[in-house]
Structure formats: C-alpha cells, structure tokens
Structure 1
Amino acid sequence: MEWTECLRGAIAYMEKNLMEDIGPADVAQAVHISPFYLQHGFRMVTGYTLGEYLRCRRLYLAALDVLSGSGTVLETAYKYGYDTPESFTKAFTRFHGLPPTQVRKNSRAIKPFLPLTVKIEIQGGNEMDYKIEKMDGFELIGFIREFQHETSYGKIPKFWDEVMALASSSSRHETQNEVEKAIFDHKIGEFGACFQGFAEGRFFYMIGGIYKGGPVPLGMATIHVPAADWAKFRCVGPLPGALQAVNTKVFSEWLPGNPDYEPSMPINLEWYSMDCCPDSSPNDYESGVWLPVRAK
C-alpha cells in the first residue's frame, strides 16, 4: 500500500472503530505496515500520535453526548473507554477547558476535533539531497532508553544532554573509567537510532556509535543493524531544526512521492558529524537521516 493510502486507511480504521478498544498495533495491522513506521510517520505528517488522535476524537464526541444529554457522566466515561468518571472528567477538562457538568451551560467552549483528511502536496520530494547506498550489517553500542511517542520530542533532547555531558567528561582527561573509555573509543554520539519498542505506543532510542569490539560497560548495550539498502538524506544547518525539517520531509514528501522505495525495517538512524556537539552546531553543521529501504 502507498504511504499516503496507509495514512488515509489508518484514519478510516480509527474512525470506524472509535468505540472499540484499539491501539497503534491494531491500526498498523489494518493497513499492513510496521507500527513503528506508522506511528513515526503519522506524527510527522499530522502533528498527532495515533493515541492522541483517538483520544481527541473520543473527547470531542463525548462532549457532543454530554451536550445532548444522551447519558450520565458515568455512562459517557465507560462508553469512551475510561475506567472511572474521575479519569474521564480529568481528561475532558484538560481537553475542553471545563468539566462535563458545565458543558450544557457553555456549549461554545467545546473544542472541535473533526476527522483528519490527509492531503499531501508533493513539492520536489524526489529532489531531496539523498543517495541510496547498500551497507553490510553492523553493530551499534551506546545508551538506550524507551520513550513514548507522545512525549519523545521533549524528552529525547534531555537524554542527549545527559550523554553529551558524559562524552565531554571523557575527552577532558587521560584517566578514563570504563564508560568514558567506551564513549571515546566508539565515538558515542555519532548516531541516534530509533527502533521498535516492546510496549504499544513506545519505541527505543539509542545514542551510540559503531561498535569496534571489546567490553560493553554496565549501563550500555549493543544492537545489530542488518544489511540493507539505505536512503541517506543529507542535512546542513543547526540542530535540531535542520534534522527535524529533513525528517519531516522524508515522511511528508519523499515517501508519498517516491515510486521506487518503501521502508524495509522498523528502524531509522540519525547521523551526526563529530566536529561539534549537537547543542552548539553552526549553520554549516552536517548531519543526516538514514532510512532502510527496499524496492517496491
């Protein structure tokens, strides 16, 4: 299925099953795509995670039910998947700005959230600065943490701050402990790797480098990246803006407009030149987005 049709199919499936207990894995299965790429791409294109979309749509419909008086707060809470009236009221108030009991007195305060329509305008998607390169399998070593799709944009930069502080420490003195030595030897920070998590709505993110053998210190791990063809997109500019812009174009322009390739594995890599730290990058800083692909 084409990438654009996957997104449209995902929205159609969620709309049809809003009253059911569904999650990202169910949506991905319905459109025959990896949950990792569906969640990643859906957010890039729409600005919402799958979970956020489902929640916003349900809370809007719940407000219409409350306004019409079709059920009690308890009945409405259960109808839209909340375990208790308290959890429903809290979510409802956070979304609409007032509790359910006040909706009938102030119906104009209801926050509309209508079904999304995916209309992607292709603007030179295949003219992006990229190359297709076949690579043998390789190992990455680094620090891994699990993130929720909904909060990852705020938390991953803090994760980088932690690791970069360790990297800076490892380069300041000759006497290094095991972790500092591994950071220095394997160039930890050259790659950021996103890959499928175990829990629904979550993914793993590694800050790492190419593993060259030797001990793996406590607190670090290795992952194997299989041999693949990689679409390597070049980014030039200060971080994180330049990299985020290219990443968004990959999913909103390149994938929908590319007749030849589609993602092949639930992983994508960020590559960073090691000339400076990502939080102090100049206007000509070079980085990249790497996407494993296969011919359609």
Structure 2
Amino acid sequence: MIDVLNQLVERVELLLADGPAVDGSGDLDVAGLARSLGTTEHHLRRMFSSLAGTPLSEYVRRRRLSAAAVDVLTTDDDLLAIAVRHGYGSAEAFGRAFAAVHGAPPGQVRREGGPVTAQPRISFHLTVRGSTPVDVRIIDQPAFRLVGHAARVPLLHHGTNPHIAAHVASIPAEEHARLKALSDTEPAGLLAVSDDLDPDRAEGSELTHLHGVAVQATTAVPDGLDVIEVRAGAWAVFRSSGPHPAALQQLWADTATQWFPSSSWRLRPGPELLAVLEHDEGWTTATCELWLPVEPGATTVGG
C-alpha cells in the first residue's frame, strides 16, 4: 500500500505539471487513478487521509495552489491565464481559493512579492514497530441489519464528539435494554455505528451515527427504529484492551499505520462498527472490538 500511495503522489505531480487532468469540476480523476494503481478510490482516499493527516482532495488543492503561487510570483502571465492553467474557471474563483490558502489574493501577492504558504510534496514510508502487535481476525459475515437510533453528526478527529454523546444521552435507559435484547448476530451487544462517511474523512463533514445492535437479515424490526442494511462480505475485527479511551485511539491509529499498509486486505464501502465488550465501573479500562469492512486487495500494482 505504501508503494501505491507514493505512486499516487507521483501521478498527482505529473498531472498538475501537465495541466489538470480534470473533469468538468476541475477535480482529479481519483477513481481512474485508483483503478490504474490496482486499488479502489474508497481505500485509496481512506489510507491517504489516515497516513497523511489531511484529505487527498485538500492535499491536491494545496499542491495546485502552491504551483499557482510560483506562477504568480515568477511570471508576468495574466492572472486569468494562471487560473485556467491550474483548473479554475474564473479569476474570481481562483482568487478566493488562492486567498484561502495563502492569506492574500494573487494580485496582492504579486505586487508585494508574497508571502505564500507552500504545501510540500508528501512521501510515504512504512516503519515497522514490533512493539505494538495488532490483534485482528478476518471473518466472513452474511448479510445483516443494524437497527437502532440514528442521527447525522459532524466528524471530529480529536476528543469526544459532543454531538454523538448528546445523541446517545437522549435515548432513554429502557431503550438501551430493549435494543440489546434484539441483538441476535455478531457483532453482539450495543454498537456505535459510523456510516455514510465522507471518503476523505474531512473534519466537519457529516456522517450517520447509529446507536443500536446487529440483527439477522430475516429478523423482524420493531416500528420506530432506524435500519442500515449491510451486505455480506469480509470484516477485519480488531481488538484492544487497556486504558480507555487511549487504547482504542491507539488501535485506530495502528490499523491505518501498521496493519493495512502491510496487509493484502483493503477497505470496502460500508459502516464501521465499534463494540465495547467489557469495561470497569468508571470506564477507565475497556476491551473493545472495531469491525471494518474489507475485501482482498490486488497482489500486484498496475503501472
């Protein structure tokens, strides 16, 4: 996977140097690039954002505007010509995007000679750390349903998400018990479900959070509950045990930085499930399972 990501970065540089390989919106054809590299857009975007710490779309935008800043400062080209060269349909759209990244519009930067904010080219490297073993198993799961109470919430990368906490707190205590009694398939018990996530995992983007349980596809669902249909497929099930939530947060990091880059599995579209198997009275320690939908990846990478 590390080789694939570095090839992606190289493709981005070549495409930006040649003029944006774009569709009508000015965006790079990430799906086409993913296919040519022997992977999927879903997995490529997720791994890039996890390892680079920024969404792929944001990285490309900043690299494009870094190149545009060079043109603004080192050439006498008309600003509209520079805008079009870098994938913008108008000088106004280019000016807004340029100012958002560099802090000033292109005309001012040209007159004053800067300053500008450059986005360095990213390079990926895999560091193998044997001190952090990843407890994972792969299981094939038939189609099932996730049922419970869902809400649209913003994605937050750090700390407790207050929107999710408020949603769960609004559910009556007796409803938690009713949901738990409905559970009749793996993963068992109450689940925290994240679905319909932005492919780039951009901060502030919306997702569906469902507090509920897994039931068989044929199980009758009581009225008043939200339902997410989950297709049959493979799942990577990661387990963590220790200080909470530190151990769980470390597990999330290890899946992206250690397991996926060195495995033959890749993420496929689908909900992400978190099950808390046990915890102490004060929630200072816990054993958790993280279920991620996966599929076999290509064994070789296309050129």
Give the superposition deviation at 1:100.
0.8
1:157-236 aligned at under 5 Å gives the runs 157-167=161-171, 170-171=172-173, 183=179, 185-186=181-182, 190-194=191-195, 205-207=208-210, 208-211=212-215, 213-215=219-221, 217=223, 220-228=226-234, 230-236=236-242
Q: CA 1:56/1:66 → structure 2, altered by over 3 Å: closer, same or farther?
A: same
Aligned equivalents of 1:242 and 1:88: distance in 2? 44
Aligned equivalents of 1:94 and 1:286: distance in 2? 43
Q: Percent identity?
A: 19
Aligned equivalents of 2:260 and 2:91: distance in 1? 42
Name 1:15's counterpart in structure 2.
13
1:49 and 2:46 aligned: no
Q: CA 1:185/1:162 → structure 2, altered by over 3 Å: closer, same or farther?
A: farther
Give the superposition deviation at 1:154.
7.6
Aligned equivalents of 2:3 and 2:97: distance in 1? 31
Q: In angstroms, what is the RMSD of aligned CA positions? A: 3.8
Give the superposition deviation at 1:158.
4.8
Indicate conservation of the 8 Å contact 1:194/1:203, yes or no: no
Name 1:245's counterpart in structure 2.
250
Task: Find the partner of 2:88 among 62, 82, 85.
Answer: 82
**Paired residues, what number?**
279
Q: Which runs of 5 or more residues in structure 1 are unaligned?
A: none
TM-score by length of 2: 0.74
Question: Aligned to 1:93, what secondary structure does the other structure show?
Answer: helix
Q: CA 1:288/1:274 → structure 2, altered by over 3 Å: closer, same or farther?
A: closer
Give the superposition deviation at 1:55.
0.2
2:258 partner amino acid? E
Give the superposition deviation at 1:53.
1.1
Q: CA 1:228/1:185 → structure 2, altered by over 3 Å: closer, same or farther?
A: same
Aligned equivalents of 2:160 and 2:29: distance in 1? 23
Aligned equivalents of 1:229 and 1:8: distance in 2? 26
1:103 and 2:109 aligned: yes
1:256 partner amino acid? P
Q: CA 1:72/1:107 → structure 2, altered by over 3 Å: closer, same or farther?
A: same
Aligned equivalents of 2:239 and 2:64: distance in 1? 37
Task: Find the partner of 1:6 among 4, 7, 15.
Answer: 4
1:266-277 aligned at under 5 Å gives the runs 266-267=269-270, 269-273=272-276
Q: CA 1:86/1:237 → structure 2, altered by over 3 Å: closer, same or farther?
A: farther
Q: Which runs of 5 or more residues in structure 2 are unaligned?
A: 23-27, 184-188
Indicate conservation of the 8 Å contact 1:142/1:220, yes or no: yes
Cα deviations across residues 87-112 of structure 1 (Å, max 9, x unaligned)?
22122112111221121344452112
TM-score by length of 1: 0.76
Aligned equivalents of 1:88 and 1:288: distance in 2? 45
Name 2:186's counterpart in structure 1.
none
Question: Aligned to 2:170, what secondary structure does the other structure show?
Answer: helix
Aligned equivalents of 1:219 and 1:72: distance in 2? 58
Question: Aligned to 1:111, what secondary structure does the other structure show?
Answer: coil
Q: CA 1:284/1:195 → structure 2, altered by over 3 Å: closer, same or farther?
A: same
Q: CA 1:9/1:63 → structure 2, altered by over 3 Å: closer, same or farther?
A: same
Q: CA 1:34/1:266 → structure 2, altered by over 3 Å: closer, same or farther?
A: farther
Q: CA 1:220/1:9 → structure 2, altered by over 3 Å: closer, same or farther?
A: same
Question: Aligned to 1:153, what secondary structure does the other structure show?
Answer: coil
Aligned equivalents of 1:106 and 1:160: distance in 2? 46
Give the superposition deviation at 1:56.
0.5
Aligned equivalents of 2:128 and 2:199: distance in 1? 34
